[in-house]
Amino acid sequence: MSTRTELDALMTQIAEMWGHQDALFEIISETNQWDHKHGPDWTFDDLLYHLTFCNRDLASRPMKLGRDFPDEERITFASMTDLNDWNAVKFSERPSGMAIDESLAALRASFLSLAGVMSLLTN
């Protein structure tokens, strides 16, 4: 018999982390600090988009498709250069002029998508 004990515990931790992120993002919104640097090359606004495409492309979609995930879409990062190149491609797909509210909505939708996929799994 399959249970969800481990997955439910993991989802509780993930939901708590998302709550902390939301609290941080609320503070950033209230102080209008989205253009503040996050590392050498990114801003907090960039981080929203990055988290969104990582949730979608590295977690939700592969987990949803499972064994049916296309081989040509499988990603291997053999180096930081590979990871940086992949990020650059993803950022090039970002809609021009994407507003913060749109970025936050997309991130929250990616959270819901991941939670939905996880709700279908068993240990």
**Over the stretch 89-117, which tens digit does the pLDDT of each residue have?**
999 999 999 999 999 999 999 999 999 99
Q: Residue 114: is it exposed, middle or buried by C-beta count within 10 angstroms (0-12/13-18/19+)?
A: buried
pLDDT in tens, 46-83: 999 999 999 999 999 999 999 999 999 899 999 999 99
What span, in angstroms and rounded, lies between the C-alpha atoms of 67 and 100? 35
Half-sphere exposure of 75 (CA within 13 A, CB side): 16
pTM of the shown model: 0.85
**Can you list the positions of beta strands (E) in the chain?**
37-38, 42-43
